[in-house]
Each structure stands twice: as structure tokens, then as C-alpha cells.
């Protein structure tokens, strides 16, 4: 099973996000958990409070592998990203993707990461980053199943 654990409710791109969600469900069970976004002018306070919410949720979840999305993380080509998802497909591991809020994730969240990945060196709007992640998860499964979507 895959879980997308993120801060904030998706406001944009809902139709496309849900299209990829349905497509992924052909391959695996996927769950989307959206935690409440913290409102504060101080970004450090936001990161700390949102980080606590994420860590509390991760602590209660039964999962095997945590992937934290962070701008400073490793960038992968789609085929290498797909190989990470083989953990779920072939070994039955429960994988959690953590997507922080617009100000990122706290150091405490990064400590939970088995791997830290970056979608792009460019700054992406938060909802767009979540959509790109969903598309890449779908693409990964088409790669693993040798389907033509990726070509």
C-alpha cells in the first residue's frame, strides 16, 4: 500500500489528481491523508507545528518505508523512482510519501526519511508538486508493468 501524507488540502488540480489516483488503484491500494495546514507568519513556527503533526501521524501508522519529499533531496529519473516502488509491488512493503506544506518540512520529519527525494530544483507551487508526485507514481507503475504510458 502507498500513502500520500501531506500538509494542506488540495485546492487546485483536483480532477487531474483524482484521475491519477484512480489509475494507480489498478496496481495497488493508495491512501491520501491531508493534515491541516498551520497558519502563522513565522515560517519556523509553521514548520515546527506541521512537523509535529506529521511525526505524530507517522508514529501511529503501520508502514515499512518513508519517502520525504524535500527540495534538497535526491533527484531521480522515472526508472530509478520506479525501482523504489518495487518495494511495495514485489515485497508488499507499505510506503509513505510525506509532502510538507508550502514552507517545507522540519528536521524532525527528515529524520523519519528512509530516502529524501526532490521533484525538481525549481520551486513548484505546493498543489502542483503533489500532482507531479501522483503522476510519477502512476508512471512508475506503468514502468514496472512494462506498459506503454512511459514511452
Homologous superfamily of the 2-146 domain (CATH): SPOUT methyltransferase, trefoil knot domain (3.40.1280.10)
pTM comes to 0.94
Q: Output the pLDDT for position 67.
A: 97
48-71 pLDDT, tens digit per residue, is 999 999 999 999 998 889 999 999
Q: Output the pLDDT for position 92.
A: 81
3-state secondary structure the chain: CEEEEEECCCCCCHHHHHHHHHHHCCCCCEEEEEECCCCCCCHHHHHHHHHHHHHHHHHHCCCCEEEEEEEEEECCCHHHHHHHHHHHHHHCCCEEEEECECCECCHHHHHCCCEEECCCCCCCCHHHHHHHHHHHHHHHHHHHCCCHHHC
Q: What is the CA radius of gyration of the chain?
A: 15
Stretches where the chain sits below pLDDT 70 are 151
Amino acid at each position: 500500500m502507498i500513502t500520500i501524507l501531506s500538509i494542506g488540502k488540495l485546492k487546485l488540480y483536483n480532477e487531474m489528481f483524482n484521475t491519477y489516483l484512480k489509475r494507480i488503484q489498478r496496481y495497488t491500494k493508495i491512501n491520501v491523508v491531508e493534515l491541516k495546514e498551520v497558519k502563522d507568519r513565522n515560517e519556523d513556527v509553521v514548520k515546527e507545528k506541521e512537523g509535529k503533526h506529521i511525526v505524530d501521524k507517522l508514529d501511529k501508522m503501520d508502514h515499512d518505508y518513508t519517502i520525504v519529499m524535500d527540495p534538497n533531496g535526491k533527484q531521480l529519473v522515472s526508472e530509478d523512482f520506479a525501482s523504489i516502488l518495487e518495494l511495495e509491488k514485489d515485497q508488499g512493503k507499505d510506503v509513505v510519501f510525506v509532502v510538507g506544506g508550502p514552507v517545507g518540512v522540519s528536521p524532525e520529519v527528515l529524520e523519519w526519511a528512509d530516502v529524501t527525494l526532490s521533484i525538481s530544483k525549481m520551486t513548484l507551487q505546493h498543489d502542483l508538486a503533489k500532482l507531479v508526485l501522483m503522476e510519477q507514481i502512476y508512471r512508475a507503475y506503468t514502468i514496472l508493468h512494462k506498459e506503454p504510458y512511459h514511452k
